[in-house]
Structure 1
Amino acid sequence: MYLLDTNVVSELRKPKPHGAVLQWIHDAADADLHISAVTIGEIQAGIELTREQDTEKAAELEQWLELVAGSYNVVPMDAAAFRAWARLMHRASDTLYEDAMIAATAKLHKLTVVTRNVADFKGFGVSVLNPFVAARR
């Protein structure tokens, strides 16, 4: 079972997504693909920045995000996940909060993080897969 990082979800929105990522997503069982509520928040934050410059583009992105949220199993950032996050963040002040939250969610639910940014998850004790370069599981 997999937890898609924000960069993988965003890749799928590109006009020409990376072929290896498309193949990996295609080959994976839908029930095995999850996204964190943190990813929804990260994308929404990007939409809000876009809204300041282009309201039509922001509305288009918001519709896409609704589709994403309805298409994948969204794993909440609940009390147990925040406790796992706090354990990961202890003495790790240089770590991005969002990456640690995604890692905590993956750890708690025994999911493999699917990301291009493998180094961002090093040291969290979670399994990581890079669909941009990885051969099929």
Structure 2
Amino acid sequence: MNRFLLDTNVISELRKPRPHGAVVAWIHDLQDEQLFLSAVTMGELQAGIERTRRQDPLKAADIESWADQLASSFQILPMDTLCFREWGRIIDRKPDGLFEDAMIAATARVHHLIVATRNEADFKRLDIRIFNPFKNS
């Protein structure tokens, strides 16, 4: 049974008023124990919430409530020592700007997960197994 680490763009898609049908169908076909989030994704979501808060505090509060629900309903994997060591292996000689993606990739590699992402190009450069639920069904 395949297990997936959801990239930020996949989990964010599910919050949209009209999420991509292929993503919704794919998620519904999986068991809860097949789905994981990285603490890095939670950090990326929080950074987005803080940017939103400066412009629209009510919208930010709504998104933060959703993020709280994610944190309590998904298995959140930390960036621990094993993950950071793997991150160091992955990021060596890679372009700057891939730090968060490399952390997600490291978490996936340590836990033997497939990264579910729309961002295929960057993750392919990180030599990690990926799945694009936006175009695969």
TM range, smaller chain: over 0.9
Q: What is the identity, as a one-letter code, of the residue corresponding to 2:132? A: N
Aligned residue for 1:68?
70
Secondary structure of residue in 2 paired with 1:88: helix
- 91-100 or 28-37, which deviates more: 91-100
> In the alignment, is residue 9 of structure 1 matched against residue 4 of structure 2?
no
Q: Residue 89 of structure 1 contacts residue 95 of structure 1 at CA under 8 Å; is this kept in 2?
A: no
Moved over 2 A (4+): none
1:47 aligns with 2:78: no
What are the residue-to-residue correspondences of 1:101-120 with 2, within 5 Å? Answer: 101-120=103-122
Length, aligned pairs only: 135
Gap regions ≥5 residues in structure 1: none
Which is further off, 20-29 or 94-103?
94-103
CA RMSD of aligned residues (A): 0.9
On the 8 A contact 1:107/1:125 being kept in 2, the answer is no
Look up the equivalent residue of 2:39 and give its one-letter code.
A
SS in 1 for 2:125: coil
| 1:1-53: CA deviation from partner (whole Å, max 9, x where unpaired) | 10000000000000000000000000011111000000000000000000111
* Percent identical residues: 57
d(CA) in 2 for partners of 1:52, 1:95: 24
Q: Tell me the CA shift for residue 95 of structure 1.
A: 4.3
- TM-score under structure 2 length normalisation: 0.95
- Cα distance per residue 1:91-123 (max 9 Å; x no partner): 113342100000000011110000011111013
1:47–1:58 Cα contact (<8 Å) kept? yes
**Structure 2 residue aligned with 1:132:** 134
TM-score, normalising length: structure 1: 0.95
**Larger mean Cα displacement after TM superposition, 11-20 or 124-133:** 124-133
In 1, distance between residues paired with 2:33 and 2:14? 18
Structure-2 separation of matches of 1:3 and 1:95: 20
